[in-house]
């Protein structure tokens, strides 16, 4: 059974009940992290995901609220005696900086480190980065402060499609990712350069014929984020929900 798990839902400043936005795509053959923050081993355990089952990490962009947990996860896996390889995906901008960050930790001197493979995502629309018997994952560049990708995940057995905007202002490539999606997971940090409001997310859901809209990467820590569903409902007449930490979506 393939599923998607929301591991965190907050924008850059998390609180005691919301971790920074990241998620996992879980299948029988592969388990794919989409970004990685906080205390990854503990969060995976809480979500009942075996850290040894993680095969891939997609890094949407090089901001600490999205990928700061990657070095800790790599070190934890090494200390827990991982042997099999791990693949990391990102735009050239992201891969270059993550490799340099790991070099600051002098990771190449860690004895008996497990194999890692870095894969560069091309800055083209609907670029296919991963295909299994259960799902296909595509990326497109979106509009943020640094080079960033959003995702389209096609679950093959159910025919369901999930789109994830990542951090972005409304831009044409998001429309391609979200076209006819069963679930659109869209950020709602607020309209600004490189971000979107809930109302803008609703507009994208409507214009792409998405069936459901989940708002993510929203302000926490005292902000009344539940009002965002009403804001999105101004421009989208379908179901609008707030994505919460440890939400799960199953795709048989």
pLDDT for 221 equals 80
pLDDT number for residue 1: 84
Task: Provide the residue-wise pLDDT of the chain in tens; the chain has 252 residues.
Answer: 899 999 999 999 999 999 999 999 999 999 999 999 999 999 999 999 999 999 999 999 999 999 999 999 999 999 999 999 999 999 999 999 999 999 999 999 999 999 999 999 999 999 999 999 999 999 999 999 999 999 999 999 999 999 999 999 999 999 999 999 999 999 999 999 999 999 999 999 999 999 999 999 999 987 767 799 999 999 999 999 999 999 999 998
User: Pairing state of beta strands 31-34 and 54-58?
Assistant: parallel
Query: What is the rounded distance in angstroms from the CA atom of residue 84 to the CA atom of residue 51?
Result: 12
Query: In whole angstroms, what is the distance from residue 114 CA to residue 74 CA?
Result: 9
Q: What is the pTM of this model?
A: 0.97
Contact between residue 219 and residue 246 where contact means Cβ atoms under 8 Å apart: no
Per DSSP bridges, beta strands 54-58 and 86-91 are parallel
Domains contained in the chain, CATH given:
2-251 (3.60.15.10)
Q: How far, CA to CA in Å, does 203 sit from each of 41, 64, 197?
A: 37, 29, 10
């Amino acid at each position: 059974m393939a599923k998607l798990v929301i591991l965190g839902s907050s924008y850059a400043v998390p609180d005691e009940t919301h971790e920074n936005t990241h998620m996992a795509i879980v299948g029988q053959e592969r388990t794919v992290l989409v970004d990685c923050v906080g205390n990854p081993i503990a969060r995976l355990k809480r979500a009942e995901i075996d850290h040894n089952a993680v095969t891939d990490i997609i890094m949407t962009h090089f901001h600490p609220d999205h990928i700061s947990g990657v070095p800790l996860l790599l070190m934890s896996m090494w200390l827990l005696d991982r042997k099999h390889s791990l693949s990391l995906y990102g735009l050239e901008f992201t891969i270059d900086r993550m490799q340099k960050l790991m070099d600051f930790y002098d990771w190449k001197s860690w004895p008996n480190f497990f194999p890692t493979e870095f894969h560069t995502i091309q800055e083209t629309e609907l670029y296919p980065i991963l295909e299994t018997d259960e799902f296909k994952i595509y990326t497109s560049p979106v509009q943020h402060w640094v080079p960033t990708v959003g995702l389209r995940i096609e679950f093959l057995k159910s025919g369901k499609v999930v789109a994830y905007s990542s951090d972005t202002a409304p831009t044409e490539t998001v429309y391609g990712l979200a076209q006819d999606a069963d679930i659109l997971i869209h950020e709602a940090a607020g309209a600004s350069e490189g971000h979107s409001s809930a109302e803008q997310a609703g507009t994208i859901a409507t214009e792409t014929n998405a069936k459901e809209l989940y708002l993510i990467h929203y302000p926490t820590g005292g902000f009344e984020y539940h009002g965002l569903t009403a804001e999105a409902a101004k421009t989208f007449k379908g179901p609008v929900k707030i994505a919460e930490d440890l939400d799960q979506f199953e795709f048989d």
